[in-house]
């Protein structure tokens, strides 16, 4: 069985790595947070000393990091993966980053005989814990087929969508749809509440129709209970939408609705809610309308 390196043990990476251990894979882990490394070591993983050390001891190296600069640093920087990785290894970056960065990093790794896949995920912390993430992959099909089972230990849907960078293009599309969906939920439910209609009854009435969605079912129970614990933080969704806008500008694609929701999220961040779940988008509408969408006691 392949020896896997895992770098990045944050809110998503830690449960993903734990699921690999549960699946029986030999895992070497590294993170700048020593407590997270120790926690995984207690679950059966080996401790890595650095990104280069992890890469030198692994056949497949998975990274799960906050954004493009961190991926560049961990893969290409001092004591990074590129300094320890062996020719023939595979790097799987599961971070949500700019597609352009995925292509740049993959090109540099290719000079060392290393294939990279970009494989961002959707589903947030609950799905990461369950091992039921949606994983969207970009890169060579032959390489994808070799490591598909590894990804399957972390996700219930693992799809190859195209060449390197395609995974992150797909993730940006996902994040646009999710953000606009949650914003629409907020706008609609604040309208209903302000009109004096029970939002829980509105939710139950519409969830089986065309307005029903995974986002509606995931976020409405949290909203009704006033629970904005992440989940997926607003500050991370801001990062994804900024990457989406940057990519849209490069491709001359309009981004009217995305830019509006990004403004809402930036407003929430300014109010000190950056670390709330992105379901907290509704608070922007609640504040403006001076109502709260909550379950009736």
The continuous run of DSSP H or E covering 118 comes out as: strand 115-118
CA distances from 88 to 20, 61, 109 (A): 21, 12, 10
Q: Burial, 153: exposed, middle or buried (Cβ in 10 Å; 0-12, 13-18, 19+)?
A: middle
Residues 221/282, Cβ–Cβ less than 8 Å: no
Residues 221/215, Cβ–Cβ less than 8 Å: no
Residues 89/56, Cβ–Cβ less than 8 Å: no
Under DSSP, is residue 66 helix (H, G, I), strand (E, B) or coil?
coil
Q: Which two tokens stand for residue 285?
A: 């509408």
List % helix, strand, coil for the chain (3-state, nearest 5).
55, 15, 30
Determine whether 171 is an active site residue: yes
Cα 122 from chain centre: 5
> Of 14, 171, 219, 239, which residue is the catalytic one?
171
Neighbours of 55 (CB within 10 A): 28
Annotated catalytic residues are: 171
């Amino acid at each position: 069985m392949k020896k896997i390196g895992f770098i990045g043990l944050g809110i998503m990476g830690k449960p993903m790595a734990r699921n690999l251990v549960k699946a029986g894979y030999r895992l070497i882990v590294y993170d700048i947070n020593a407590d997270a490394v120790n926690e995984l070591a207690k679950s059966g993983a080996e401790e890595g000393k650095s990104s280069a050390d992890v890469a030198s001891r692994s056949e497949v190296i998975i990274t799960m990091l906050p954004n493009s600069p961190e991926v560049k640093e961990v893969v290409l920087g001092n004591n990074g993966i590129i300094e320890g990785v062996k020719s023939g290894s595979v790097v799987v970056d599961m971070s949500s980053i700019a597609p352009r960065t995925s292509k740049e990093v993959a090109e540099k790794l290719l000079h060392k005989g290393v294939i990279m896949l970009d494989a961002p995920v959707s589903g947030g912390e609950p799905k990461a814990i369950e091992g039921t993430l949606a994983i969207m992959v970009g890169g060579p099909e032959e390489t994808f087929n070799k490591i598909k089972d590894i990804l399957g230990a972390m996700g219930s849907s693992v799809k190859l969508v195209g060449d390197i960078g395609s995974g992150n293009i797909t993730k940006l599309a996902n994040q646009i749809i999710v953000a606009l969906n949650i914003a629409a939920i907020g706008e609609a439910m604040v309208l209903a509440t302000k009109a004096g209609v029970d939002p829980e009854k509105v939710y139950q009435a519409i969830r089986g129709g065309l307005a029903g969605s995974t986002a509606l079912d995931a976020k409405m129970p949290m909203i009704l209970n006033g629970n904005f614990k992440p989940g997926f933080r607003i500050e991370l969704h801001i990062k994804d939408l900024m990457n989406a806008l940057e990519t849209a500008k490069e491709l001359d694609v309009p981004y009217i609705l995305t830019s509006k929701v990004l403004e809402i999220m930036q407003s929430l961040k300014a109010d000190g809610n950056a670390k709330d779940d992105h379901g907290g988008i509704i608070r922007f509408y609640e504040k403006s309308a001076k109502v709260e969408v909550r379950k009736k006691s």
